[in-house]
Amino acid sequence: QVQLVESGGGSVQAGGSLQLSCEATGYTFSGNDMGWFRQAPGKEREGVATIDSDGSADVARSVKGRFTISADNAKNILYLQMNSLKPEDTAMYYCAAGRRSGEEWVGFQTPPERVGYWGQGTQVTVSS
């Protein structure tokens, strides 16, 4: 059974930093698609940063230069380092792994309905 457990969320002031972690059991990140998505109240879930099965990283324009995605394959943990946080980054952040059978992964633009597995989410709140 696949389980993705996020941690590291919290409340920070604008300009601050947070590091999210996603620990997987029953699933190996290495060689598979993975990433971080977020959903703000009243908005659709959107991709933030992803790592494709070939190891290439893809980051949404809205967070480029501020967020960095990485993975520790030995520990099977996915990270999202978030710097220079803005109030508009406030959202529930979800770890995503794999894609549904027959679906195509297209980096951070992958539609959420194509994602295979989700974590329970971790809240990030940025105050001005």
What digits encode the pLDDT tens for the residues 68-103? 999 999 999 999 999 999 999 999 999 999 999 989
The token pair at 36 is: 């971080």
Sheet with 77-82, strands from edge to edge, namely: 3-7, 18-25, 77-82, 67-72
Reported as a single tens digit per residue, the pLDDT across 29-65 is: 999 999 999 999 999 999 999 999 999 999 999 999 9
Per DSSP, the three-state class of 109 is helix
Q: What is the mean pLDDT of residues 10-29?
A: 97
What local confidence, expressed as pLDDT, does residue 70 receive? 97
- Mean pLDDT, to the nearest integer, of 101-107? 92
